[in-house]
Amino acid sequence: MKFNPDADLDTSGVEDTRGSSGGGGGRLPGGMGIPVGGGIGGIILLVVILLLNGGLPGGSEGAADEPTARNTAAGNLDSCKKGTDLATNKDCRFVFYQNSIENFWAAELPRRGKKYIKAPMNVFSNSVNTGCGPATAAVGPFYCPPDKRVYLELGFFKTLETDLGARGGDFAEAYVVAHEYGHHIQNLYGILDRIKTRQGANSDSVRSELQADCLAGVWTNHATTVPTKSGKPLITGLTEDDIGDGLDAAAAVGDDRIQSKTQGQVTPESFSHGTAEQRMKWFKTGMDSGDLTRCDTWSANPL
């Protein structure tokens, strides 16, 4: 994955609260109408789950609230102003991911007649308070609809490799971030109540997660053409190996792979995210088409 050293980075949508006291702990609550992804091996994988209408079939348009005020507690990501800063601060790659993903959707949704509302990315350590309740680092990446934020604890990406067997890589990380922003796109379309069934191979939860995978693929299709506000590209190259890393990460967090590793058997009736094959399939569907209207997991049969 090649990052443009001449790119201008925008940290206004990135909240680095590592080292600050986030308070709270435990798991995200399941209240407020917000389903929570399945906890596997001490982490909740790629959680949250709202769906998308717009160019996609199904659902009705809902009014989106304005985002909450930006958290002013800052860490070292605030220093990521230029692409060259990546040479001295490797974590700046997360600013590249966030800028590229959000810049893409900020242009794509208005093109389809839908207002885009920004979603800050909060990078935390230990614990954090959110509109969905308190969360610890054990939760893993998630999107919180009430405060319209993506939350990342960067230690998750090591867990993805050591515990779940993914081979890792920059684009594996980018896929995870893009998946969570996929949930933000779903939230903006207001289909909060679409999810009724939380477990099962054909559950609403599985369909929503696969849709977020597809939306991550849509961004991937356009990733090397997304510019900064000054017109300079952010990501200048994705190789087949990079794409392979993303597909590998998608497979690693398939319900069947996780269940096989953690309990020695696969129980489809408890699925919440989809199988490894399904996750790769829907990521590729979005990536190959670059079109969010192809991400209709709700009508798909079979998934």
- The β-bridge partners of 121 are 14, 150
> Helix (H, G, I), strand (E, B), or coil: what is residue 108?
helix
Is residue 29 one of the residues assigned to a domain? yes
Per-residue pLDDT band for 191 (boundaries 50, 70, 90) equals low
Is residue 282 one of the residues assigned to a domain? yes
Q: How many domains does the chain have?
A: 1
Task: Estimate the crossing angle of helix 170-188 against helix 240-252, to 10 degrees.
Answer: 60
Is residue 70 one of the residues assigned to a domain? yes
Task: Estimate the crossing angle of helix 204-222 against helix 93-111, to 10 degrees.
Answer: 100
One DSSP character per residue, 203-218 reads: -HHHHHHHHHHHHHHH
Per-residue pLDDT band for 194 (boundaries 50, 70, 90) equals confident
Give backbone dihedrals phi and psi of 138, rounded to 5 degrees, phi first: -65, -15
Average of per-residue pLDDT values in the chain = 84
In whole angstroms, what separates CA 47 from the centre of its chain? 8
Arithmetic mean of pLDDT, 223-233: 93
Is residue 260 one of the residues assigned to a domain? yes
For the ranges 9-13, 31-35, 61-65, 190-194, the lowest mean pLDDT is seen at 31-35
Is residue 302 one of the residues assigned to a domain? no
Model confidence, pTM: 0.85
Q: Report the chain's terminal Cα–Cα distance, integer Å.
A: 30
With 80 as the cut, is the pLDDT of residue 46 above it? no
pLDDT tens, 64-108? Answer: 333 333 444 444 899 999 999 999 999 999 999 999 999 999 999
Is residue 301 one of the residues assigned to a domain? no
Cis peptide upstream of residue 302 (ω within 30 degrees of 0): yes
Is residue 47 one of the residues assigned to a domain? yes
Question: Which residues span the domain enclosing 64?
Answer: 2-294
With 70 as the cut, is the pLDDT of residue 114 above it? yes
> In 10 A of CB 242, how many CB atoms?
21
For the ranges 107-121, 133-147, 228-242, the lowest mean pLDDT is seen at 133-147
Is residue 300 one of the residues assigned to a domain? no
Torsion of CA 46, 48, 49, 50, to 10 degrees: -130
User: In terms of C-beta density within 10 A (0-12 exposed, 13-18 middle, 19 or more buried), how is residue 222 classed?
Assistant: middle
pLDDT tens, 137-163? Answer: 888 899 999 999 999 999 999 999 999
Enumerate residues 6+ apart whose C-beta is below 8 A from 301.
none
Residue 77 in contact with residue 11, Cβ under 8 Å? yes
